[in-house]
Structure 1
Amino acid sequence: MKRPGKKVATDRSFVVALSRGLDVLRAFHPNDGLLGNQELAARTNLPKPTISRLTYTLTKLGYLTPVPRFEKYQLAPSAMALGYAALANLGVRHLSEPYREALMRETGGAVAVGGRDRHSMIYFGQSRTGLLGVQLDVGSHVPIATTAMGRAYIWALPDDERASLLRELRDHYGNRWPKMRDGIERAGEMLAHRGFTISAGEWQDDVHAVGVPLKLSDGTGPYAFNCGAPAFRFTEDRLVNDIGPRLVTMVRNIETALGGAVPQSKKTQNKKPKAGGRVARLAEGIR
Protein backbone atom coordinates (compact mmCIF):
# COMPACT_ATOMS: atom_id res chain seq x y z
CA MET A 1 0.00 0.00 0.00
CA LYS A 2 1.43 3.35 -1.02
CA ARG A 3 2.04 6.15 1.41
CA PRO A 4 0.81 9.64 0.46
CA GLY A 5 2.89 11.15 -2.30
CA LYS A 6 5.01 14.23 -1.74
CA LYS A 7 2.44 16.55 -3.31
CA VAL A 8 -0.37 15.18 -1.13
CA ALA A 9 1.73 15.10 2.01
CA THR A 10 2.57 18.81 1.66
CA ASP A 11 -1.06 19.81 1.07
CA ARG A 12 -2.01 21.85 4.16
CA SER A 13 -5.60 20.60 3.94
CA PHE A 14 -4.51 16.95 3.86
CA VAL A 15 -4.47 15.20 7.28
CA VAL A 16 -1.62 12.69 7.04
CA ALA A 17 -2.39 11.07 10.41
CA LEU A 18 -5.95 10.33 9.32
CA SER A 19 -4.70 8.93 6.02
CA ARG A 20 -2.33 6.59 7.83
CA GLY A 21 -5.03 5.44 10.23
CA LEU A 22 -7.31 4.59 7.33
CA ASP A 23 -4.45 2.75 5.65
CA VAL A 24 -4.19 0.53 8.72
CA LEU A 25 -7.90 -0.31 8.53
CA ARG A 26 -7.60 -0.95 4.79
CA ALA A 27 -4.74 -3.36 5.40
CA PHE A 28 -7.21 -5.94 6.70
CA HIS A 29 -8.41 -8.10 3.82
CA PRO A 30 -11.30 -10.57 3.70
CA ASN A 31 -10.45 -13.84 5.46
CA ASP A 32 -7.31 -12.32 7.01
CA GLY A 33 -8.29 -12.94 10.60
CA LEU A 34 -5.69 -11.43 12.92
CA LEU A 35 -2.85 -9.08 11.99
CA GLY A 36 0.03 -7.88 14.14
CA ASN A 37 1.95 -4.61 14.05
CA GLN A 38 4.74 -6.16 12.00
CA GLU A 39 2.32 -7.39 9.33
CA LEU A 40 0.53 -4.05 9.28
CA ALA A 41 3.83 -2.21 8.90
CA ALA A 42 4.73 -4.40 5.91
CA ARG A 43 1.36 -3.85 4.25
CA THR A 44 1.26 -0.08 4.76
CA ASN A 45 4.97 0.72 4.35
CA LEU A 46 4.80 2.63 7.61
CA PRO A 47 7.42 2.41 10.42
CA LYS A 48 6.53 -0.05 13.16
CA PRO A 49 6.56 2.64 15.92
CA THR A 50 4.01 4.62 13.87
CA ILE A 51 1.90 1.49 13.45
CA SER A 52 2.01 0.88 17.21
CA ARG A 53 0.61 4.36 17.90
CA LEU A 54 -2.05 3.98 15.23
CA THR A 55 -3.25 0.57 16.40
CA TYR A 56 -3.37 1.89 19.99
CA THR A 57 -5.49 4.87 18.87
CA LEU A 58 -7.78 2.76 16.68
CA THR A 59 -8.27 0.35 19.57
CA LYS A 60 -9.23 3.21 21.90
CA LEU A 61 -11.69 4.48 19.29
CA GLY A 62 -13.27 1.06 18.93
CA TYR A 63 -12.18 0.31 15.36
CA LEU A 64 -9.76 -2.48 16.28
CA THR A 65 -10.06 -5.27 18.82
CA PRO A 66 -6.78 -6.42 20.39
CA VAL A 67 -6.12 -10.13 20.91
CA PRO A 68 -3.42 -10.05 23.62
CA ARG A 69 -2.71 -13.77 23.48
CA PHE A 70 -1.33 -13.42 19.95
CA GLU A 71 -0.32 -9.74 20.17
CA LYS A 72 -2.50 -9.05 17.15
CA TYR A 73 -5.66 -7.19 16.16
CA GLN A 74 -8.88 -7.75 14.28
CA LEU A 75 -11.40 -5.31 12.88
CA ALA A 76 -14.00 -4.33 15.47
CA PRO A 77 -17.74 -3.99 14.77
CA SER A 78 -17.39 -0.19 14.57
CA ALA A 79 -15.06 -0.52 11.58
CA MET A 80 -17.31 -3.06 9.87
CA ALA A 81 -20.32 -0.82 10.48
CA LEU A 82 -18.74 1.81 8.21
CA GLY A 83 -18.73 -0.65 5.34
CA TYR A 84 -22.29 -1.79 5.95
CA ALA A 85 -23.47 1.83 6.12
CA ALA A 86 -21.82 2.50 2.75
CA LEU A 87 -23.49 -0.56 1.23
CA ALA A 88 -26.87 0.54 2.57
CA ASN A 89 -26.50 3.88 0.78
CA LEU A 90 -25.72 2.31 -2.60
CA GLY A 91 -29.14 2.26 -4.23
CA VAL A 92 -27.67 0.66 -7.36
CA ARG A 93 -26.82 -2.44 -5.34
CA HIS A 94 -30.40 -3.02 -4.23
CA LEU A 95 -32.11 -1.99 -7.44
CA SER A 96 -29.82 -4.13 -9.59
CA GLU A 97 -30.33 -7.32 -7.58
CA PRO A 98 -33.35 -8.72 -9.48
CA TYR A 99 -31.65 -7.91 -12.80
CA ARG A 100 -28.47 -9.65 -11.67
CA GLU A 101 -30.38 -12.68 -10.43
CA ALA A 102 -32.25 -12.97 -13.73
CA LEU A 103 -29.07 -12.79 -15.82
CA MET A 104 -27.38 -15.32 -13.56
CA ARG A 105 -30.22 -17.79 -14.18
CA GLU A 106 -30.23 -17.12 -17.93
CA THR A 107 -26.48 -17.52 -18.46
CA GLY A 108 -25.26 -19.69 -15.61
CA GLY A 109 -22.59 -17.09 -14.83
CA ALA A 110 -21.81 -14.97 -11.78
CA VAL A 111 -23.04 -11.38 -12.11
CA ALA A 112 -21.56 -8.59 -9.98
CA VAL A 113 -21.48 -4.82 -9.62
CA GLY A 114 -18.49 -2.96 -8.24
CA GLY A 115 -16.73 0.35 -7.79
CA ARG A 116 -13.13 1.49 -7.68
CA ASP A 117 -10.86 0.99 -4.69
CA ARG A 118 -7.48 2.44 -5.69
CA HIS A 119 -6.00 -0.01 -8.23
CA SER A 120 -8.77 -2.55 -7.76
CA MET A 121 -12.50 -2.93 -8.18
CA ILE A 122 -14.43 -3.96 -5.08
CA TYR A 123 -17.63 -5.98 -5.34
CA PHE A 124 -20.59 -4.50 -3.49
CA GLY A 125 -23.24 -6.70 -5.11
CA GLN A 126 -22.88 -10.29 -6.27
CA SER A 127 -25.25 -12.93 -7.67
CA ARG A 128 -23.89 -16.43 -8.18
CA THR A 129 -24.70 -20.08 -7.66
CA GLY A 130 -22.70 -22.45 -5.49
CA LEU A 131 -21.77 -24.47 -8.58
CA LEU A 132 -19.43 -21.86 -10.05
CA GLY A 133 -15.69 -22.15 -9.65
CA VAL A 134 -15.34 -18.35 -9.33
CA GLN A 135 -15.75 -17.84 -5.59
CA LEU A 136 -15.93 -14.07 -5.18
CA ASP A 137 -18.35 -12.28 -2.89
CA VAL A 138 -19.25 -8.82 -1.60
CA GLY A 139 -16.03 -7.17 -0.44
CA SER A 140 -13.82 -9.09 -2.87
CA HIS A 141 -11.23 -7.15 -4.85
CA VAL A 142 -10.23 -7.74 -8.47
CA PRO A 143 -7.60 -5.77 -10.40
CA ILE A 144 -8.72 -2.88 -12.58
CA ALA A 145 -6.14 -3.42 -15.32
CA THR A 146 -6.83 -7.05 -16.27
CA THR A 147 -10.51 -7.68 -15.55
CA ALA A 148 -13.57 -6.99 -17.68
CA MET A 149 -15.18 -5.04 -14.84
CA GLY A 150 -12.08 -2.93 -14.29
CA ARG A 151 -11.59 -2.14 -17.96
CA ALA A 152 -15.24 -1.17 -18.33
CA TYR A 153 -14.79 1.21 -15.39
CA ILE A 154 -11.64 2.73 -16.90
CA TRP A 155 -13.43 3.65 -20.12
CA ALA A 156 -16.40 5.13 -18.24
CA LEU A 157 -14.16 7.80 -16.70
CA PRO A 158 -13.79 11.33 -18.09
CA ASP A 159 -10.67 11.66 -20.23
CA ASP A 160 -8.58 13.48 -17.64
CA GLU A 161 -9.47 11.06 -14.83
CA ARG A 162 -8.75 8.09 -17.07
CA ALA A 163 -5.36 9.44 -18.06
CA SER A 164 -4.49 10.03 -14.39
CA LEU A 165 -5.52 6.49 -13.43
CA LEU A 166 -3.56 4.97 -16.29
CA ARG A 167 -0.43 6.81 -15.19
CA GLU A 168 -0.95 5.43 -11.67
CA LEU A 169 -1.31 1.92 -13.04
CA ARG A 170 1.82 2.35 -15.19
CA ASP A 171 3.85 3.37 -12.15
CA HIS A 172 2.29 0.64 -10.01
CA TYR A 173 2.91 -2.28 -12.38
CA GLY A 174 6.28 -1.28 -13.85
CA ASN A 175 7.52 -3.70 -16.51
CA ARG A 176 4.22 -5.62 -16.45
CA TRP A 177 2.40 -2.51 -17.66
CA PRO A 178 2.90 -2.70 -21.48
CA LYS A 179 0.94 -5.96 -21.76
CA MET A 180 -1.79 -4.62 -19.47
CA ARG A 181 -1.93 -1.37 -21.43
CA ASP A 182 -2.49 -3.31 -24.64
CA GLY A 183 -5.42 -5.13 -23.05
CA ILE A 184 -6.92 -1.85 -21.87
CA GLU A 185 -6.57 -0.36 -25.35
CA ARG A 186 -8.35 -3.38 -26.88
CA ALA A 187 -11.07 -3.01 -24.27
CA GLY A 188 -11.62 0.62 -25.26
CA GLU A 189 -12.00 -0.35 -28.91
CA MET A 190 -14.43 -3.16 -28.08
CA LEU A 191 -16.48 -0.94 -25.77
CA ALA A 192 -16.78 1.65 -28.54
CA HIS A 193 -17.89 -1.02 -31.06
CA ARG A 194 -20.01 -3.35 -28.95
CA GLY A 195 -20.76 -1.66 -25.63
CA PHE A 196 -18.86 -4.14 -23.47
CA THR A 197 -15.33 -5.31 -22.65
CA ILE A 198 -13.99 -8.83 -22.25
CA SER A 199 -11.23 -10.49 -20.26
CA ALA A 200 -10.52 -14.02 -21.42
CA GLY A 201 -7.88 -15.55 -19.16
CA GLU A 202 -6.05 -12.25 -18.66
CA TRP A 203 -6.78 -12.05 -14.94
CA GLN A 204 -6.96 -15.76 -14.18
CA ASP A 205 -6.24 -18.37 -16.83
CA ASP A 206 -9.48 -20.25 -16.30
CA VAL A 207 -11.86 -17.27 -15.90
CA HIS A 208 -13.67 -15.52 -18.77
CA ALA A 209 -15.91 -12.49 -18.27
CA VAL A 210 -17.54 -9.49 -19.89
CA GLY A 211 -17.89 -6.02 -18.36
CA VAL A 212 -20.22 -3.06 -18.90
CA PRO A 213 -19.96 0.38 -17.26
CA LEU A 214 -22.83 2.10 -15.48
CA LYS A 215 -22.99 5.88 -15.72
CA LEU A 216 -25.49 7.85 -13.65
CA SER A 217 -26.67 11.44 -14.02
CA ASP A 218 -26.56 12.21 -10.28
CA GLY A 219 -22.78 12.54 -10.12
CA THR A 220 -22.17 9.19 -8.39
CA GLY A 221 -20.05 6.42 -9.82
CA PRO A 222 -19.21 5.38 -12.38
CA TYR A 223 -19.69 1.72 -11.53
CA ALA A 224 -19.27 -1.43 -13.59
CA PHE A 225 -20.97 -4.79 -13.92
CA ASN A 226 -19.50 -8.09 -15.00
CA CYS A 227 -20.73 -11.55 -15.88
CA GLY A 228 -18.17 -14.32 -15.65
CA ALA A 229 -17.70 -18.06 -15.42
CA PRO A 230 -15.03 -20.73 -15.87
CA ALA A 231 -13.54 -20.61 -19.36
CA PHE A 232 -15.07 -23.91 -20.45
CA ARG A 233 -18.55 -22.44 -19.85
CA PHE A 234 -17.98 -19.01 -21.35
CA THR A 235 -15.95 -19.44 -24.52
CA GLU A 236 -14.68 -16.29 -26.20
CA ASP A 237 -17.28 -16.71 -28.93
CA ARG A 238 -20.05 -16.90 -26.36
CA LEU A 239 -18.68 -13.87 -24.51
CA VAL A 240 -18.83 -11.76 -27.66
CA ASN A 241 -22.06 -13.02 -29.21
CA ASP A 242 -24.21 -13.93 -26.23
CA ILE A 243 -23.06 -12.87 -22.76
CA GLY A 244 -21.85 -9.38 -23.73
CA PRO A 245 -25.07 -8.27 -25.46
CA ARG A 246 -27.15 -9.66 -22.59
CA LEU A 247 -25.11 -7.72 -20.02
CA VAL A 248 -25.39 -4.51 -22.06
CA THR A 249 -29.18 -4.88 -22.14
CA MET A 250 -29.28 -5.51 -18.40
CA VAL A 251 -27.19 -2.43 -17.57
CA ARG A 252 -29.20 -0.19 -19.92
CA ASN A 253 -32.38 -1.36 -18.16
CA ILE A 254 -30.83 -0.56 -14.77
CA GLU A 255 -29.80 2.90 -15.99
CA THR A 256 -33.35 3.56 -17.09
CA ALA A 257 -34.75 2.34 -13.77
CA LEU A 258 -32.33 4.61 -11.89
CA GLY A 259 -33.17 7.57 -14.12
CA GLY A 260 -29.57 7.83 -15.19
CA ALA A 261 -29.70 6.76 -18.82
CA VAL A 262 -27.88 9.05 -21.23
CA PRO A 263 -29.51 8.84 -24.70
CA GLN A 264 -27.10 8.23 -27.54
CA SER A 265 -27.76 9.10 -31.13
CA LYS A 266 -27.40 6.42 -33.79
CA LYS A 267 -24.47 8.42 -35.16
CA THR A 268 -22.69 8.15 -31.79
CA GLN A 269 -23.59 4.48 -31.35
CA ASN A 270 -22.32 3.55 -34.80
CA LYS A 271 -19.16 5.62 -34.66
CA LYS A 272 -16.08 3.41 -34.91
CA PRO A 273 -12.71 4.47 -33.51
CA LYS A 274 -9.94 4.81 -36.05
CA ALA A 275 -6.33 3.82 -35.70
CA GLY A 276 -4.51 6.71 -34.10
CA GLY A 277 -7.78 8.02 -32.65
CA ARG A 278 -8.62 8.87 -29.04
CA VAL A 279 -7.72 5.42 -27.70
CA ALA A 280 -4.32 5.49 -29.35
CA ARG A 281 -3.63 9.09 -28.32
CA LEU A 282 -4.42 8.31 -24.70
CA ALA A 283 -2.22 5.25 -24.82
CA GLU A 284 0.66 7.26 -26.23
CA GLY A 285 0.30 9.69 -23.35
CA ILE A 286 0.89 6.99 -20.76
CA ARG A 287 3.68 4.92 -22.31
Structure 2
Amino acid sequence: MRPATAAPTAVHREDTDDRQFVIALARGLSVLQAFGQGDDLLTNAEIAHRARLPKATITRLTYTLCKLGYLARDAAGMGYRLDPHILTLGFPVLARLGVRQLARPLMQALAEQEGLTVSMGLRDGAHMIYVERVRSSAPVVLQQDIGTRIPIATTALGRAYLAGLPVPERAALLEELRATSPAGVWPVVKKGVERELARHRRTGYCFGGGWDPEITGVAVPLDLPGRTLLSLSCAGARADLPDARLAAIGERLNDIVRRISLAQGTRL
Protein backbone atom coordinates (compact mmCIF):
# COMPACT_ATOMS: atom_id res chain seq x y z
CA MET A 1 0.00 0.00 0.00
CA ARG A 2 1.28 3.43 -0.90
CA PRO A 3 2.25 5.44 2.21
CA ALA A 4 0.95 8.93 2.76
CA THR A 5 3.78 11.42 2.65
CA ALA A 6 4.08 15.14 2.95
CA ALA A 7 4.45 16.84 -0.40
CA PRO A 8 7.17 19.45 -0.67
CA THR A 9 5.76 22.91 -0.14
CA ALA A 10 7.07 26.24 -1.32
CA VAL A 11 6.20 29.91 -1.42
CA HIS A 12 5.08 30.33 -5.03
CA ARG A 13 6.73 33.11 -6.96
CA GLU A 14 3.44 34.73 -7.85
CA ASP A 15 2.62 34.98 -4.15
CA THR A 16 5.78 36.96 -3.43
CA ASP A 17 4.51 39.69 -5.77
CA ASP A 18 1.31 40.10 -3.76
CA ARG A 19 1.85 42.93 -1.26
CA GLN A 20 -0.88 41.52 0.98
CA PHE A 21 0.85 38.13 1.13
CA VAL A 22 2.87 37.60 4.34
CA ILE A 23 5.83 35.49 3.24
CA ALA A 24 7.09 34.89 6.80
CA LEU A 25 3.74 33.39 7.79
CA ALA A 26 3.65 31.21 4.68
CA ARG A 27 7.13 29.93 5.43
CA GLY A 28 6.20 29.11 9.01
CA LEU A 29 3.17 27.14 7.85
CA SER A 30 5.32 25.33 5.29
CA VAL A 31 7.40 23.99 8.18
CA LEU A 32 4.29 22.48 9.79
CA GLN A 33 3.13 21.11 6.45
CA ALA A 34 6.46 19.34 5.99
CA PHE A 35 5.42 16.72 8.56
CA GLY A 36 3.54 13.79 7.08
CA GLN A 37 1.91 10.66 8.42
CA GLY A 38 4.57 8.41 9.89
CA ASP A 39 7.04 11.24 10.53
CA ASP A 40 8.15 11.25 14.13
CA LEU A 41 11.25 13.42 13.97
CA LEU A 42 12.48 15.69 11.20
CA THR A 43 15.79 17.53 11.19
CA ASN A 44 16.20 21.10 10.00
CA ALA A 45 17.84 19.76 6.84
CA GLU A 46 14.89 17.45 6.12
CA ILE A 47 12.38 20.23 6.72
CA ALA A 48 14.40 22.59 4.51
CA HIS A 49 14.31 20.02 1.68
CA ARG A 50 10.57 19.49 1.95
CA ALA A 51 9.73 23.17 2.36
CA ARG A 52 12.24 24.21 -0.29
CA LEU A 53 13.70 26.88 1.95
CA PRO A 54 17.28 27.65 3.11
CA LYS A 55 18.38 25.73 6.18
CA ALA A 56 19.23 28.98 7.99
CA THR A 57 15.64 30.16 7.51
CA ILE A 58 14.30 26.82 8.74
CA THR A 59 16.50 27.02 11.84
CA ARG A 60 14.89 30.32 12.82
CA LEU A 61 11.40 29.08 12.02
CA THR A 62 11.70 25.86 14.02
CA TYR A 63 13.07 27.83 16.97
CA THR A 64 10.08 30.19 16.82
CA LEU A 65 7.55 27.36 16.43
CA CYS A 66 9.07 25.63 19.45
CA LYS A 67 8.71 28.84 21.47
CA LEU A 68 5.04 29.05 20.40
CA GLY A 69 4.42 25.42 21.34
CA TYR A 70 3.70 24.03 17.87
CA LEU A 71 6.96 22.06 17.62
CA ALA A 72 8.94 20.18 20.25
CA ARG A 73 12.66 19.48 20.09
CA ASP A 74 13.79 15.93 20.65
CA ALA A 75 15.52 15.49 24.02
CA ALA A 76 18.57 14.06 22.26
CA GLY A 77 18.67 17.03 19.89
CA MET A 78 18.11 14.81 16.85
CA GLY A 79 15.24 16.81 15.39
CA TYR A 80 11.74 18.19 15.86
CA ARG A 81 8.29 16.69 16.18
CA LEU A 82 4.84 18.22 16.10
CA ASP A 83 3.67 19.17 19.58
CA PRO A 84 0.15 18.16 20.65
CA HIS A 85 -0.61 21.87 20.95
CA ILE A 86 -0.95 21.93 17.17
CA LEU A 87 -4.23 20.02 17.53
CA THR A 88 -5.82 23.26 18.69
CA LEU A 89 -5.58 24.46 15.08
CA GLY A 90 -7.53 21.52 13.69
CA PHE A 91 -10.17 20.81 16.32
CA PRO A 92 -12.33 23.85 15.51
CA VAL A 93 -12.60 22.66 11.89
CA LEU A 94 -13.69 19.18 12.93
CA ALA A 95 -16.10 20.57 15.51
CA ARG A 96 -17.75 22.66 12.79
CA LEU A 97 -18.43 19.49 10.77
CA GLY A 98 -21.33 18.31 12.89
CA VAL A 99 -22.39 15.97 10.10
CA ARG A 100 -19.56 13.68 11.24
CA GLN A 101 -21.47 12.76 14.38
CA LEU A 102 -24.63 12.15 12.38
CA ALA A 103 -22.87 10.02 9.78
CA ARG A 104 -20.62 7.99 12.07
CA PRO A 105 -23.12 5.28 13.16
CA LEU A 106 -24.30 4.84 9.56
CA MET A 107 -20.69 4.58 8.40
CA GLN A 108 -19.86 2.11 11.17
CA ALA A 109 -22.80 -0.10 10.27
CA LEU A 110 -21.68 -0.25 6.63
CA ALA A 111 -18.08 -0.92 7.63
CA GLU A 112 -19.10 -3.84 9.85
CA GLN A 113 -21.51 -5.34 7.34
CA GLU A 114 -19.00 -5.17 4.49
CA GLY A 115 -15.78 -5.73 6.46
CA LEU A 116 -14.29 -2.61 4.92
CA THR A 117 -13.21 0.93 5.80
CA VAL A 118 -15.65 3.81 5.39
CA SER A 119 -14.37 7.37 5.23
CA MET A 120 -15.52 10.97 4.99
CA GLY A 121 -13.29 13.58 3.40
CA LEU A 122 -13.09 17.10 2.10
CA ARG A 123 -10.76 19.00 -0.19
CA ASP A 124 -7.38 20.25 0.97
CA GLY A 125 -5.78 22.00 -2.00
CA ALA A 126 -4.97 19.39 -4.64
CA HIS A 127 -5.79 16.56 -2.23
CA MET A 128 -8.61 15.14 -0.18
CA ILE A 129 -8.18 14.89 3.58
CA TYR A 130 -9.93 12.39 5.84
CA VAL A 131 -12.10 14.03 8.51
CA GLU A 132 -13.87 10.85 9.66
CA ARG A 133 -12.86 7.22 9.27
CA VAL A 134 -14.37 4.02 10.67
CA ARG A 135 -13.20 0.43 10.29
CA SER A 136 -14.81 -2.94 10.74
CA SER A 137 -13.59 -5.41 13.34
CA ALA A 138 -12.06 -7.45 10.51
CA PRO A 139 -8.33 -7.12 9.73
CA VAL A 140 -7.86 -3.87 7.83
CA VAL A 141 -5.89 -3.18 4.68
CA LEU A 142 -6.11 0.60 4.90
CA GLN A 143 -4.06 2.10 7.72
CA GLN A 144 -4.57 5.80 7.01
CA ASP A 145 -6.35 7.82 9.67
CA ILE A 146 -8.04 11.19 10.11
CA GLY A 147 -5.79 13.90 8.69
CA THR A 148 -4.26 11.74 5.95
CA ARG A 149 -4.21 13.40 2.52
CA ILE A 150 -4.85 11.45 -0.69
CA PRO A 151 -5.02 12.52 -4.35
CA ILE A 152 -8.22 13.87 -5.85
CA ALA A 153 -8.13 12.62 -9.42
CA THR A 154 -7.19 8.97 -8.84
CA THR A 155 -9.27 8.07 -5.77
CA ALA A 156 -12.95 7.37 -5.35
CA LEU A 157 -13.20 9.96 -2.58
CA GLY A 158 -11.68 12.66 -4.79
CA ARG A 159 -13.65 11.75 -7.89
CA ALA A 160 -16.89 11.91 -5.94
CA TYR A 161 -15.87 15.36 -4.73
CA LEU A 162 -15.32 16.44 -8.34
CA ALA A 163 -18.73 15.04 -9.27
CA GLY A 164 -20.38 17.11 -6.55
CA LEU A 165 -18.87 20.42 -7.67
CA PRO A 166 -20.70 22.93 -9.89
CA VAL A 167 -19.36 22.67 -13.44
CA PRO A 168 -17.32 25.92 -13.40
CA GLU A 169 -15.62 25.00 -10.10
CA ARG A 170 -14.94 21.49 -11.33
CA ALA A 171 -13.35 22.81 -14.53
CA ALA A 172 -11.12 25.16 -12.52
CA LEU A 173 -10.00 22.39 -10.18
CA LEU A 174 -9.30 20.00 -13.05
CA GLU A 175 -7.15 22.65 -14.69
CA GLU A 176 -5.25 23.09 -11.42
CA LEU A 177 -4.71 19.34 -11.20
CA ARG A 178 -3.60 19.20 -14.84
CA ALA A 179 -1.06 21.97 -14.27
CA THR A 180 0.54 20.13 -11.35
CA SER A 181 0.42 16.65 -12.90
CA PRO A 182 3.70 15.09 -14.10
CA ALA A 183 4.31 15.38 -17.83
CA GLY A 184 2.52 12.71 -19.83
CA VAL A 185 0.41 11.46 -16.92
CA TRP A 186 -2.60 13.77 -17.12
CA PRO A 187 -4.25 12.34 -20.30
CA VAL A 188 -4.62 8.93 -18.62
CA VAL A 189 -5.77 10.47 -15.34
CA LYS A 190 -8.26 12.72 -17.11
CA LYS A 191 -9.75 9.76 -18.98
CA GLY A 192 -10.33 7.97 -15.68
CA VAL A 193 -11.93 11.07 -14.15
CA GLU A 194 -14.25 11.53 -17.12
CA ARG A 195 -15.28 7.87 -16.97
CA GLU A 196 -16.19 8.18 -13.29
CA LEU A 197 -18.01 11.48 -13.73
CA ALA A 198 -20.14 9.72 -16.34
CA ARG A 199 -20.71 6.84 -13.90
CA HIS A 200 -21.82 9.33 -11.28
CA ARG A 201 -24.35 10.86 -13.67
CA ARG A 202 -25.84 7.38 -14.20
CA THR A 203 -25.62 5.97 -10.69
CA GLY A 204 -24.74 8.65 -8.14
CA TYR A 205 -21.36 7.09 -7.23
CA CYS A 206 -17.76 6.91 -8.52
CA PHE A 207 -15.15 4.15 -8.48
CA GLY A 208 -11.52 4.74 -7.60
CA GLY A 209 -8.49 3.66 -9.56
CA GLY A 210 -4.87 4.40 -10.31
CA TRP A 211 -3.58 5.67 -6.97
CA ASP A 212 -2.84 2.32 -5.33
CA PRO A 213 -2.90 -0.90 -7.37
CA GLU A 214 -3.88 -2.95 -4.31
CA ILE A 215 -6.78 -0.76 -3.17
CA THR A 216 -10.06 0.28 -4.71
CA GLY A 217 -13.30 1.81 -3.49
CA VAL A 218 -16.52 3.57 -4.28
CA ALA A 219 -17.63 7.02 -3.14
CA VAL A 220 -20.47 9.50 -3.30
CA PRO A 221 -20.60 13.28 -2.83
CA LEU A 222 -22.26 14.58 0.32
CA ASP A 223 -23.53 18.02 -0.63
CA LEU A 224 -25.80 19.52 2.00
CA PRO A 225 -27.16 23.01 1.24
CA GLY A 226 -25.10 25.75 2.84
CA ARG A 227 -22.41 23.36 4.01
CA THR A 228 -18.94 22.29 2.90
CA LEU A 229 -18.94 19.73 0.10
CA LEU A 230 -17.81 16.35 1.44
CA SER A 231 -17.43 12.83 0.08
CA LEU A 232 -18.19 9.43 1.58
CA SER A 233 -16.23 6.37 0.49
CA CYS A 234 -15.99 2.67 1.21
CA ALA A 235 -12.69 1.01 0.30
CA GLY A 236 -10.66 -2.13 0.71
CA ALA A 237 -8.48 -4.66 -1.08
CA ARG A 238 -9.02 -4.65 -4.84
CA ALA A 239 -9.12 -8.47 -4.89
CA ASP A 240 -12.20 -8.40 -2.64
CA LEU A 241 -14.08 -5.70 -4.54
CA PRO A 242 -15.24 -6.63 -8.04
CA ASP A 243 -17.29 -4.01 -9.85
CA ALA A 244 -20.60 -5.66 -8.96
CA ARG A 245 -19.85 -5.45 -5.25
CA LEU A 246 -18.62 -1.87 -5.59
CA ALA A 247 -21.89 -0.97 -7.30
CA ALA A 248 -23.96 -2.53 -4.52
CA ILE A 249 -21.93 -0.66 -1.90
CA GLY A 250 -22.32 2.52 -3.93
CA GLU A 251 -26.10 2.21 -3.66
CA ARG A 252 -25.77 1.84 0.10
CA LEU A 253 -23.63 4.98 0.24
CA ASN A 254 -26.33 6.80 -1.74
CA ASP A 255 -28.84 5.64 0.86
CA ILE A 256 -26.62 6.94 3.69
CA VAL A 257 -26.49 10.34 1.99
CA ARG A 258 -30.30 10.37 1.67
CA ARG A 259 -30.70 9.51 5.35
CA ILE A 260 -28.24 12.20 6.41
CA SER A 261 -30.07 14.69 4.20
CA LEU A 262 -33.42 13.85 5.79
CA ALA A 263 -31.96 14.11 9.28
CA GLN A 264 -30.59 17.54 8.36
CA GLY A 265 -34.02 18.61 7.15
CA THR A 266 -32.99 18.84 3.49
CA ARG A 267 -33.94 16.88 0.41
CA LEU A 268 -31.41 15.78 -2.18
Please give the per-residue CA displacement for 1:115-142, whole angstroms capped at 9, x wherever unaligned: 1122221111111124122222212222
Aligned: 1:234 with 2:264: no
Distance 2:69 2:231 in 1: 33
Deviation at 1:76, TM superposition (A): 1.1
Among residues 177, 180, 190, which one is paired with 2:189 in the alignment?
Answer: 180
Q: 2:42 aligned with 1:35, yes or no?
A: yes
**CA displacement 1:69-117 (0-9 Å, x = unmatched):** 2341111122122223322222121111011011112222211101112
Post-superposition offset of 1:68:
5.2
Task: Provide the residue aligned with 2:125 in structure 1.
Answer: 118
Q: Once the 2 structures are TM-superposed, how far is the Cα of residue 217 of structure 1 from its aligned partner?
A: 1.3
Structure 1 residue corresponding to 2:142, chosen from 130, 134, 154: 134
Aligned to 2:22: 15
1:197-227, CA deviations, whole angstroms, 9 ceiling, x for partnerless residues?
0014x22112120010111212x32110101
Q: Is the 8 A contact 2:9 2:33 kept in 1?
A: no
| Distance in 1, Cα, partners of 2:167 & 2:65 | 38
Alignment of 1:125-274 (within 5 A): 125-129=132-136, 130-174=138-182, 175-200=184-209, 202-218=210-226, 220-240=227-247, 242-262=248-268
TM-score by length of 1: 0.84
> Counterparts of 2:57 and 2:262 in 1: how far apart (Å)?
49
Equivalent position SS for 2:231: strand
Kindly indicate whether the alpha-carbon contact (under 8 Å) linking 2:214 and 2:237 is maintained by their aligned counterparts in 1: yes
- Give distance in 2, aligned partners of 1:261 and 1:13: 41
Q: Answer whether contact 1:109 1:128 (CA < 8 A) is retained.
A: yes
Structure 2 CA distance, aligned partners of 1:44 and 1:168?
Answer: 20
Q: Percent identity?
A: 41
Alignment partners' CA distance in 1, 2:118 and 2:233: 6
5 Å-filtered alignment, 1:22-101, equals: 22-67=29-74, 69-101=76-108
- Between the aligned partners of 1:261 and 1:82, the Cα distance in structure 2 is 33
Segments of structure 1 that go 5 or more residues without pairing to the other structure are: 263-287
Residues 162, 47 of structure 1: CA spacing in aligned structure 2 closer, same or farther, 3 A cutoff? farther
Secondary structure at the residue paired with 1:210?
strand
For normalisation by structure 2, the TM-score amounts to 0.90
Contact 1:208 1:236 in 2 (8 A): no
Q: Which amino acid aligns with 2:234?
A: C
CA offset at residue 178 of structure 1? 1.3
Contact 1:124 1:138 in 2 (8 A): yes
Aligned partners of 2:117 and 2:133 also within 8 Å: yes
Distance in 2, matches of 1:147 and 1:236, equals: 15
Q: Report the counterpart of residue 270 of structure 1 in structure 2.
A: none
Letter in 2 for 1:229: G
Partner amino acid, structure 1, of 2:233: N
CA RMSD in angstroms, aligned pairs only: 1.7
What amino acid is aligned across from residue 133 of structure 1 in structure 2?
Answer: V
Q: Is the 8 A contact 2:156 2:217 kept in 1?
A: yes
- Structure 1 residue 148: deviation in Å? 0.3
Cα deviation, residue 52, structure 1: 1.4
1-structure distance, mates of 2:234, 2:46: 34
Structure 2: gaps (5+ residues): 1-7
> How big is each residue's C-alpha offset from its partner over 1:43-89, in whole Å with a ceiling of 9 and x where there is no partner?
11122122112111111111111125234111112212222332222
